[in-house]
Each structure stands twice: as C-alpha cells, then as structure tokens.
Chains A and B, each alone.
Chain A
C-alpha cells in the first residue's frame, strides 16, 4: 500500500519535472532565435476567416520570430497596444487608430487590405430594408423597432455600426436593439437563430454562411461601408519588452508583394470570391 502511494507521488513529480524542463528549454530556444517572440493583437475577423493561420507560419519561417496571435476585438487590440502589451496590431478601426498614432503610441501604420461591411438580416426582411442605402435602412429599423443585434464589444465593426446610427440621424435606443457582447461569428449566429438584423464584415459572413440559415445580405455597396484594415507597430517607447525588430519585420511582411498577392486570392476557391481586397 505504501508503495502505491509512493509510486503515485513519484509519477506526479516526474511529470512535473519533465514538463518543467520541457517548458524552459522550449522558451529558451525561441528566446535565442534571431527574431524572438512577438505578440500580435488582431481583430477576430482576420483570425476567424483563417487568413492568419495561412500567413503567420510563412512569416515565422522567414524570420524565426515566434508570433503569438491574440484574437480580440479591435477595441481590445488597440488597448493592448496602448499599454505596450502587444508588439504589432492588425485592426480595422481607422479613427481610433489615428488617435493612437497621433499620441505616438503606434508607429509605422499602413493600410494593408479592405473588404466591406454588409447588413445581414432575415431573408423575408420583415422591416423591408433590402436595397436601401444603409443610413436609410438603419433609420427604418429604428422606426419600426426591428430586431437588431449589435456586437457591443467596442470592436471595429461595433464602432462602424455606431457611426452609421449617427449618420442615420437616430440613436440605437429602441427596445429590439440587443448587444451580444461577442465576436462576429457568434453574433451572426445569434442573429440567424433569432431572425434579426446585424452589421457584419463580408469576410466573416462568407466564412460562416453555411451555418447561417435564412440570413441574407440586405444592404451592401455604400461607400460608408468600406472596411479598411491597417497593420502597425506599437511604439517601442511604451515598454522595454517590445520586440521592435520583429514588429517592423511583420509590417514589412504584410506589405510585401507575396503577402499582398496571397491576400488577393485568399478564399476565392472556397467561397467563390475573395474575402479581402488589397489596396
């Protein structure tokens, strides 16, 4: 009996030791590599579509940098940049980004790609907004108290949505305006299940389309619906732990011809149209 206890404890201890050693050696390896480690805070839309799954390994291969992708809303991504908790950012909230740039918190900011926002809603379109200019469509939704799902998470999409409400000359305060507080994929599925309207980026919509019953694109193509992504470095002044070289290399990588031509065709095969356009 005593032996069994002892062996149990010994096994546990061995496990801890083995894994402990494993961790440190792995950490050191990447620490001494040319590029070291880098934290990329990015929007969920670029991550959920799988674009970064394809691009990041290429970058890691080229530079030896180990990239940690933290997929959050643009709001949180920018906040992480502001605090110096990330090294590079990929976001789609141009106005908020410009503020950070003006404060010197982010540098080397470049436009890398765009797609567009669309209004998705039930294909029977109870509020009859299909085909209207987006501001009119929003005003109509507010008037009729249409069921609208907002991400409400301070993401780029959420910011854009709030802009449209204010352009539409109405406020987003009506009974059927609901905030999900979740990412685009989840919000789209909630809208689909509950038969409501939502504003989404086209990439995530296409990516999720097969899970979305009876949800159709109702408004698209307006100039105000352009969705622009920027890549940028966090200012190395914010924290001495920022990996400036890696972040700079990352920006260069995103702007490189190979990457841009990859983005141009990404998704074409699977969804019949590209998810992102380059500039």
Chain B
C-alpha cells in the first residue's frame, strides 16, 4: 500500500517538476501512438468500407485473416517487423530498426486488423433500407462515402478508440523493434518494464499513473466527441 502511495506522490512530483526525461518519454509515447493509429485509420477505414460494400474474389479469406489479426500477439508482430528491418533483412536499407519509425510500423501491424475489423462491422450495421435510400438519391461516390461514414461514425470512433487503446498498452513489440533506447525509443510501457527489471518500482508506478491518466483523458475526449456527434 505504501508503495502505491509513494508511486502516486512520485508521479505527481514528476509531472509538477516536468521532469525532462519523463516529459520526453510521455510525448514520444503520444506521438508514436497517435501516428500509428492515424496511419491504421487511414488504411483501415477505406479497407473496412471496401470489405463491407464490395464483393470480390478472396474476400472471405481476407475477412478471416483480418478478424484473426485482431488477436495477433504484439510480440509476433514485433518479431516479424524486426526481421524485416534487420540490416540483412528486406527493408534493412531503411535503417529503421531501433528508431521510433520501427515502433510505429509494429504498432500499425498490431492496430490495423482491429480498425479494419471494427469499421467493417460498423459499416455492416448500417440499415439496408437506408443504403437503398442513399443509392436512390443517385449520389456521387464522394457523397456516398461521406454519408456511409456519417452513418457509421459511432462504430468508427469505437474502432479508433480500440486501436489507440491497443497501441498505448502495447509493450512487447515496442521493446523488440525499438530497443528501449533512452531519449530515442523509450516509451512509457518499455520504460516501465525496464524500471521494474531494475527494481525501481516507485518510478514504474509513477509511469503507470501517467499512462493511465493519458488513457483516461484520451478516452474522455473521444467519448465526448462521439456523444456530441450523436445528439441531433
């Protein structure tokens, strides 16, 4: 109990003193997670939409893979991304291993299936009568896409939240591809693992409070956005 309390005190101290290292780790965490979720949304939203509305060969297989991918263990993603980014690997020339770009890549792999899958479900849930109605108005493709997104926005927002939640909480892949480099690729979760292995529980606890606070604030903002859009 005392440890939790001292962790809380330490966390407040760190935040109030704006400890440079903690601030840097926190900002990097936010940056990496936002970028990876943004990229996943950018790819996942259209992909989910295509899967929901278009028919093509291999669609069932693709759906199976995407749904299964929701449960992809981050460590597996980390291992594969690492092997691709090795100096001797196919993407070795990028020199991305142990950089924030590598973490973003791994986290996109982890969050993309979640976002595709959940946006797919969101589009699928649109009332068929409504789809017919929209089509009968003879909209342009852009208008059609806009209306579909508008109809499915609730589910889309949930998909983005789920993706963001996953990457914020993720540690295995970030550790493997990022290497937990001080000042470069150390994010809140990998820093916590390191502090625990060094026996610095109070620092790890402090970091955990920061991470939880971030999760809370982001969820609050997104929920707020979602609810506001829901009222007429």
Which residues of A are at the interface with B, using a C-beta cutoff of 8 A? 1, 4, 8, 12, 15-16, 19, 23, 27, 37, 39, 44, 48, 53, 68-71, 83-85, 182-183, 185-186, 189, 207-208, 210-211, 239, 241
Contact = CB atoms under 8 A, between A and B. Distances in A.
Nearest to B86: A85
Contacts of B43: none
Given A70-B179, A211-B201, A241 B87 contact: yes
A41 to B, nearest CB: 10
A85 B176 CA distance: 13
Given A1-B229, A68-B98, A69-B181, A211 B199 contact: yes
B139 interface: no
Contacts of A182: 197
Contact of B98 (A19, A39, A83, A183): A39
- The 6 residue pairs across chains A and B that have the minimum distance between CB atoms: A211-B199, A185-B197, A208-B199, A241-B87, A70-B179, A12-B38
B54 interface: no
Contact of B197 (A23, A183, A239): A183
Interface size band for B = 20 to 34
Contact of B34 (A15, A185, A208): A15
Contact of B86 (A8, A12, A19, A83): A83
A84 B100 contact: no
Given A1-B229, A48-B198, A12 B92 contact: no
B20 interface: no
Contact of A207 (B34, B100, B199): B199
B14 interface: no
Contacts of B179: 68-70
Judged by DSSP, the binding face of A is helix
Contacts of A85: 86-88, 97
B87 A239 contact: yes
Contacts of A39: 98
Interface string B83-105: 00011100010010111110000
Interface in B100-115: 100-101
B77 to A, nearest CB: 19
Given A185-B198, A186-B197, A19 B99 contact: no
A241 B85 CA distance: 13
B199 A19 contact: no
A48 B98 CA distance: 19
A4 B224 CA distance: 13
B230 to A, nearest CB: 11
Contacts of A241: 87, 92, 95
